[in-house]
Each structure stands twice: as C-alpha cells, then as structure tokens.
C-alpha cells in the first residue's frame, strides 16, 4: 500500500525521506519518488520498482541532496500502471507545486475534464496528478497561499486522501492533510517528519500528532498550525509512539514473518499482560470499563474484519456464543458495509484489525455505528483510525507486525477475544469455578506456544517433500475450522500455492473429487467433540491416495498413526485450541515459501494494510 514521508527542518531532507521510505517498504509498493525544494526550485526523482533504484538516482542529484524540505512516496498502483510517469510526486502544470497522495480521488475523471477544458495538460494516468493540478489551479488563479489552495482543492474532491504538498514559491512550508488515509506528524526539535506510518518516524522522535480525518497541518521549521478542512483552528495533543526501532527491526531472523511467528509466546504474554487477575481469578479489561454495563446487556455481537482478522472473527463467533452465550455472527467488512445490515437494539459490533486502518473494516464500523451499535475495536496499532473511532476497545499489544502475512496479530486477536468472552461470560452466567479453569489455561498458553514453536525444524523437513505440490486442502471442524481457513490463506499468500480451507465434513460434498495420489491434506485435529468424525474423514482421504499432515494433541497416537506426518500441540480447553493449532500451519506456510524461493515478507500483489476499497 502507498507510503508517504515528508520532512521540514534543518537537516538534509533526502536522507530522512529515503530512509523513511525504506521503513515503509514492508507495506508493499511498485514505484517510488522524492521531491526536494532547494534554492526556490523543485527537484524531483522517480523510478518504477524498488526504493533503492530511486535512491541511486537521488544520490546523483546534488540539488536533491542539498534541500532541507521535501516529500516522498512509495506507490501501489491503483490508477495507471506502475511506471515512472505515474509514480508520485506529481506536479501542477506550472511545475511549482508537488504533491504525494495515498487514497483514491473518486471524482478525478470529472475534475480532470474540467482542468483539461481550462487548458491543463496531464502527463500521467493518476488521480493524484488531478489533485496536484487542481491545487495549482487555485494557487495560480487566486494568488492565495499554498495552504489555502490545498483547502480550496480538497473542497472539490470526493474520495480518500492523505497528502503532503510543497511549493517552490513557499520553500519553507510543508502542507499535509487527511481524509480516510492515515497521516502522523512527528514533532522534533526545529523539525517535523510526516509519515503515513509510525515506522518512518520512530528513529527521529517518539513525539507525534495524529491527524484526524478532515484535518490539515501547515508545517515550517519554526512551528505548526493545524486546522480542519473548513479552516477552523484545532489544538492537537502530542502523543508518544509506543514502539522502539529495535522492535521494528528483524531481530536476527531471516524474515520478519519468521521473527513474528517465533515471538508469539512473548506477544501473547503482552496481550495477556495485566488482564488476568490471578489472585481474584478474573479478567480485567480497562479499555472496556466505560462501556461494561452496556456491553453486558448486549443481545447480539457482530464481528467484522478482513483477511486474517476475519478468520479471527470466525473464531470469535464460537467464543462469544460458547463462553458468553451471546448470539454472534461474523461478517466480511467489505460485504457488511454494502448490504443494508439489520442492526437491532443492544447490538455490539467488534471491528478486528491489526493495522486499524483497513478501509473496508473502517467503513463497516462506521455503518454499524450509524445504525446505533456499540462499537468496539480489537486493534494492534495504537492511535490508528479504527482505534480512535470505536466507543471502546482492547489493544492487542502484539508489537509491530511487519510481515505482510499476519501471524502474531492473529494469535493475539484470539487471546483478546477469549478475554472479552470470558469477562462477559462471567458477568452473565459462568460459574467462578469454570472461570478459574479458563484463566489458568490462558495463563499457561505462552509456555505451550514455546513447545509448538520447537517443531519448526521438523515442519521445514516435512515441507521439503511437498514444496512442488500445487494444490493443498486444509480441513478442520468446530473451533478448528477457522484455523483450516487461516492455514490455507497463509500458504496462498506467501508461497502462491493453491490451497483451500474447509469444514472437514463439507469435503464429501464436492472437494473430495480433487483428491489424487500424493495430494497433501492438512487436518487440524486436536482432541475435541468431533474427533471421531475427523478420524473418518482422514480415512476417506487416505483411501484415495491423499497424504495426511495432521496437527494433533500431544499423546494422541490414533491420528498420529494414520497420518503421514503429525505435529503436536499441548492439551488445552477446546476454545483456546486455535491459538496453538494455527502455529504449525504458519510455520508450514513459511517454510514452503522459503523452499520455493518466494519473497516471504513482501509477497507479490499483496499489501500489509489495505487502505483503499
Ligand atoms: C491485508 C493483509 C492481510 C490482513 C488484512 C486485514 O489484506 O494482507 O494479512 O489480514 O489486510 O488487515 P488488518 O490490518 O485490518 O488486520
């Protein structure tokens, strides 16, 4: 997904901008560009492909190297191919104003026609150039300031944007604005570093201002002015970024994804931290206190999210019905927002999102809020848009997740859902005795995770035998059915192997036709109420020549003997099994992708945070 970095201060801007873009590379992009203002002129360098290619060109340009104010961008193509011409920054027709943009200008075609009729000539296919030229047209027509021209242009725009703008006639001013696309202002000494993601700011300062939708900031090395897009002044509080640079770096692992898989014992411990009261044996969630009375009266829970977060929601559906006895359903955020959903009184919507910025999840949340639902968030990124727009919520505290394929965020999402379900269950009907059993089990999970992670090498060895197989099936039942979906998604995302996840009993209604000699079939089959049925399903696959890879409970020889390969997870209450059973599947996907030479952390066509529809 696109990334923005901007700088104004006393340092040479180029270094800050390029290093910042490198920190955002994990988000996925296909071209990069930079604009530095020096001696009253804009100096722009762009390239299709990696940031390093653009950096080499920037290093050879003395003017780009010299300026102390500039903007930069990594683009993930939406309008027009990933070419140099379409890369940001884009300029107005006089070449005096340059702009970078995340998001989509929905009425760009109408605006473009209007501008062409006025004599503007376009050099790219992008919606962003339309915005740049529109700003330029207000600037040149009205002889206004850059900030006023930006406000006037944004007044004409429908769509979403995070933008950063510079102008050669106002060589000390950086203008930024947002609507629907994140922007954070890092506040240093005599300098500001602006970015769409905290990862690009953290090495300069941990003091930040989160711009809200419909807000603008005008930054110079002397100070900052913030207003709404209606030009009403707003006071912004300086907040602290919680994450350190070391947390963001790879920590000695070959890939971020492996690091994030391997640190799950710690991330789960963080997610549980301070929330399990082991003395009174209860769950305490400070983030939900202010809504707890309303929450206890909830008659229905709607869980919504996208991708892996949606799979977490699917587990949540089981958890809230099973542990809290509240009717629950999970909805794809992208579908929920458009299908005129019925939101009755006393409904709670829970938006699940690692980034807190996923456009569809945010839109679904807003839809549910408009219809009167209590809005909760289960989010990782502190201060993200979803976190700020919910009535209350529980952060994951999983630490930054950089690998595009979500791993530790998923297990922490399951932890947080379990905590919320237990808290509600206890306040509604659950006995203290049952509660204690669950709390003890949750407290034991981090140690149990360590034993599952120890199987990484044997999973790697097993995967070697199957890495050339192009079709895999993942099957599970009950709580472990969403795990089968998540295991299949992980494999697809990073190894480009076709994989399908299904509730195991559905196999006989069609997908069993796919089974052929040697086809790998993964069973998520820990001890549970449907264990015997799963044994039957395994036999059906074996009879047709499929190879069985099973995730089973420690000490279970029955399925282990039937399977070609078995990976063990410690015993725990069924509602918490997915937290453990998903880990061998994350490792399987990781090792398969490495064996196939895939770019694990930056899989093709994918973005970490999808902030457009
Ligand atoms: C993208 C990522 C997925 C992620 C989904 C939801 O598609 O590639 O890994 O699960 O977005 O992201 P979120 O940040 O809302 O959890």
Of 196, 192, 188, 198, nearest to 173 (Cα)?
A: 192
Among this protein's residues, is 412 annotated catalytic? no
Q: Please choose from 331, 358, 409 the residue to mutate so as to test ligand 1's pocket, defined by most ligand atoms within 8 A of CB.
A: 358
Q: What confidence tens digit (pLDDT) does each residue in 489-502 have?
A: 999 999 999 999 99
> What's this model's pTM, rounded to 2 decimal places?
0.79
Say if residue 337 is exposed, middle or buried (CB neighbours under 10 Å; 0-12, 13-18, 19+).
Answer: buried
Which tokens is 491 given? 């494999």
* Torsions phi, psi for 105 (to 5 deg): -90, 105
Catalytic residue among 2, 35, 167, 412: 2
43: tokens are 């100096």
Relative to the CA of 409, which ligand 1 atom is closest?
Answer: 16
- 307 Cα to the center of ligand 1, angstroms: 5
Atom of ligand 1 nearest to the CA of 361: 15
d(Cα 1, Cα 466) in Å, to the nearest integer?
Answer: 32
pLDDT of 475 reads 97
| Res 541: pLDDT | 93
Q: Looking at the predicted structure, is the pLDDT value of residue 428 above 90?
A: yes
| Ligand 1 center to 321 CA (angstroms) | 25
Interatomic CA distance for residues 79 and 22, integer angstroms: 23
The CA 608 to ligand 1 mean position distance, Å, reads 6
The band of 369, judged by pLDDT with boundaries at 50, 70 and 90, is very high
Give the number of the atom of ligand 1 that is nearest the alpha carbon of residue 306.
6
* Residue 143 a catalytic site member: no
d(CA 564, CA 549): 6
Q: Which residues contact 215 (CB under 8 A, 6 or more apart)?
A: 177, 178, 226, 227, 228, 229, 234
Q: How far, in whole angstroms, is CA 23 from its chain's centroid? A: 15
- Quickly state the pLDDT bin for 10 (edges 50, 70, 90): very high
pLDDT for 568 equals 97
State in Å: Cα 409 to ligand 1 middle. 10
For the chain, percent of residues with pLDDT exceeding 70: 98
Tell me the CA–centroid distance for residue 590 and ligand 1, in Å: 17
**Are 86 and 33 within 8 A, CB to CB?**
no
pLDDT for 496 equals 95
Query: What sign for the dihedral angle of Cα 398, 400, 403, 404?
Result: positive
602 falls in which pLDDT band (50, 70, 90)?
A: confident
Of the residues 610, 611, 612, 613, which should be mutated to test ligand 1's pocket, given the most ligand atoms within 8 Å of the CB?
610
Lateral strand order in the sheet of 300-305:
328-332, 300-305, 347-353, 374-379, 392-395
Which residue stretches of 292-373 are H helix?
292-296, 307-323, 333-336, 359-370
Q: What is the mean pLDDT of residues 262-289?
A: 92
Residue 142 confidence (pLDDT): 65
What mean pLDDT, rounded, does the chain reach?
93
Tell how far the Cα of 612 is from the centroid of ligand 1, in angstroms: 12
Q: What percent of the chain has pLDDT over 90?
A: 82
Which entry of 112, 179, 492, 608 is annotated as an active-site residue? 608
- Most informative mutation of 28, 334, 354, 359 for ligand 1 (most atoms within 8 A of CB): 354
Token representation of residue 262: 């391997």
User: Which residue has a Cα nearest atom 5 of ligand 1?
Assistant: 307
How many angstroms is it from 343 CA to the middle of ligand 1?
Answer: 25
- Residue 82: predicted pLDDT: 82
> What is the atom index within ligand 1 of the atom nearest the CA of 308?
10
Burial 550-589 (b: 16+ CB within 10 A, else e): bbbbeebeebbebbebbbbbbbbeebbbbbbbbbbbbbbb
pLDDT range class, residue 247, cuts 50, 70, 90: low
Which of 582, 608, 611, 613 has most ligand 1 atoms within 8 Å of its beta carbon, as the pocket-test mutant?
608
Give mean pLDDT, residues 463-480: 94
**Structure confidence at residue 605 (pLDDT):** 86
Output the CA 430–ligand 1 centroid distance in Å: 33
Residue 248: per-residue pLDDT: 67
Nearest CA to ligand 1 atom 3: 307
Q: Tell me the pLDDT tens digit for each residue of 116-137.
A: 999 999 999 999 999 999 999 9
pLDDT tens digit sequence for 504-519? 989 889 888 889 999 9
Which helix (H) or strand (E) segment holds residue 115: the answer is helix 108-117
Judged by DSSP in three states, 208 sits in strand
- Give the model confidence (pLDDT) of 376-415 as tens digits: 999 998 778 999 999 999 999 888 888 999 999 999 999 9
Q: Tell the residue nearest (CA) to atom 7 of ligand 1.
A: 307
- Measured by CA distance, the residue closest to atom 15 of ligand 1 is 353
Model confidence pLDDT, tens digit, residues 544-588: 999 999 999 999 989 999 999 999 999 999 999 999 999 999 999
Q: Is the dihedral of CA 483, 485, 490, 495 positive or negative?
A: positive
List all residues whose CB is within 6 A of at least one atom of ligand 1.
Answer: 305-309, 353-355, 358, 361, 404-406, 606, 608-610
pLDDT value of residue 1: 60
Per-residue pLDDT at 103: 86
pLDDT tens string 159-170: 889 999 999 999
Q: How high is the pLDDT of residue 250?
A: 74
CA of 405, closest atom in ligand 1:
9
């Amino acid at each position: 997904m696109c990334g923005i970095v901007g700088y104004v201060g006393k340092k040479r801007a180029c270094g800050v901008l390029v290093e910042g873009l490198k920190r955002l590379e994990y988000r996925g992009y296909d071209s990069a560009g930079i604009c530095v203002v020096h001696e009253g002129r804009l100096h722009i360098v762009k390239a299709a492909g990696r940031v390093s290619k653009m950096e080499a060109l920037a290093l050879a340009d003395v003017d780009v190297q010299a300026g102390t104010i500039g903007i930069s961008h990594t683009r993930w193509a939406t309008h027009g191919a990933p070419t140099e011409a379409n890369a940001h920054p884009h300029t107005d027709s006089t070449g005096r104003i340059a702009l970078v943009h995340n998001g989509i200008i929905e009425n760009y075609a109408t605006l473009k026609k209007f501008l062409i009729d006025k004599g503007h000539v376009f050099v790219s296919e992008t919606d962003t150039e339309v915005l740049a030229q529109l700003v330029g047209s207000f600037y040149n027509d009205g002889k206004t300031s850059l900030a006023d021209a930006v406000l006037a242009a944004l007044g004409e725009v429908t769509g979403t944007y995070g933008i950063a703008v510079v102008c050669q006639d106002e060589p000390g001013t950086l203008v930024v604005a947002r609507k629907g696309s994140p922007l954070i202002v890092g506040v240093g000494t005599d300098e500001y570093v602006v970015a769409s993601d905290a990862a690009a700011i953290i090495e300069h300062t941990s003091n930040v201002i989160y711009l809200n939708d419909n807000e603008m900031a005008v930054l110079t090395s002397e100070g900052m002015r913030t207003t709404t897009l209606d030009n009403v002044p707003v006071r912004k509080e300086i907040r602290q970024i919680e994450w350190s640079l070391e947390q963001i770096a790879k920590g000695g692992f070959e890939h971020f994804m492996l690091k994030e898989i391997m640190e799950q014992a710690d991330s789960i411990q963080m997610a549980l931290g301070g929330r399990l009261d082991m003395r009174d044996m209860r769950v305490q969630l400070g983030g939900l206190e202010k809504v707890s009375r309303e929450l206890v009266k909830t008659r229905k829970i709607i869980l919504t999210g996208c991708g892996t977060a949606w799979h977490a929601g699917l587990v949540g559906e089981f958890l809230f019905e099973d542990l809290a006895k509240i009717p629950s359903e999970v909805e794809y955020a992208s579908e929920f927002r458009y299908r005129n959903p019925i939101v009755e009184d006393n409904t709670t919507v829970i938006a699940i999102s690692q980034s807190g910025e996923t456009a569809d999840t945010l839109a679904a949340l807003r839809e549910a809020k408009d219809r009167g639902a209590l809005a909760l968030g289960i989010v990782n990124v502190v201060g993200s848009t979803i976190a700020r727009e919910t009535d209350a919520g529980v952060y994951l505290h999983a630490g930054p997740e950089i690998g595009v394929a979500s791993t530790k965020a998923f297990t922490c999402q399951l932890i947080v859902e379990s905590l919320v379900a237990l808290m509600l269950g206890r306040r509604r009907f659950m006995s203290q005795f049952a509660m204690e059993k669950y709390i003890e089990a949750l407290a034991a999970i981090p140690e149990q995770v360590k034993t599952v992670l120890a199987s990484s090498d044997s999973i790697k060895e097993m995967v070697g035998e199957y890495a050339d197989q192009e079709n895999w099936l993942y099957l599970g039942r009950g709580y472990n059915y969403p795990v089968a979906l998540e295991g299949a998604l992980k494999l697809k995302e990073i190894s480009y192997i076709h994989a399908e996840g299904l509730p195991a009993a559905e196999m006989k209604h069609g997908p069993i036709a796919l089974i052929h000699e040697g086809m790998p079939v993964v069973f998520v089959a820990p001890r549970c109420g449907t264990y015997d049925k799963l044994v039957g399903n395994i036999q059906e696959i074996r009879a047709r020549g499929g190879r069985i890879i099973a995730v089973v409970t420690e000490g279970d020889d029955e399925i282990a003997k039937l399977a070609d390969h078995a990976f063990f997870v410690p015993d725990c209450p069924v509602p918490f099994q997915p937290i453990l059973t998903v880990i061998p599947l994350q490792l399987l996907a990781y090792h398969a992708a490495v064996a196939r030479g895939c770019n694990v952390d930056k899989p093709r066509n994918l973005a970490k945070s999808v902030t457009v529809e």
